[in-house]
Amino acid sequence: MPKFSMTCSCGHEMSVDAATRQEGVAKMKAMFTKEAVDQHLADKHPGEPPMTVAQVHGQIEQKLAAAPA
């Protein structure tokens, strides 16, 4: 199954296995709940302004791409 990935501005690379990019976006969005967003920001972006789930989901829609083979 293909892999889709993106790199956060903090350098953290995240990936999902999905048949299509659309499925990959849906899977990645499902992973980033309010709790997951808050935890990521606390761990990787201390002192930065908070982001909403909608902002993170927008970044996923823009940045998620097929991972190199």
Q: Tens of pLDDT along 9-47?
A: 999 999 999 999 999 999 999 999 999 999 999 999 999
Domain count, the chain: 1
Report which of 30, 31, 37 is spatially closest to residue 53, judged by C-alpha positions: 37
The confidence score (pLDDT) of residue 68 equals 83
Q: Which domain holds residue 10?
A: 3-66
Is the per-residue pLDDT at 69 higher than 80? no
CA 3/CA 47 separation, integer angstroms: 32
Q: Is residue 60 very low, low, confident or very high in pLDDT (cuts 50, 70, 90)?
A: very high
CA 6/CA 57 separation, integer angstroms: 12
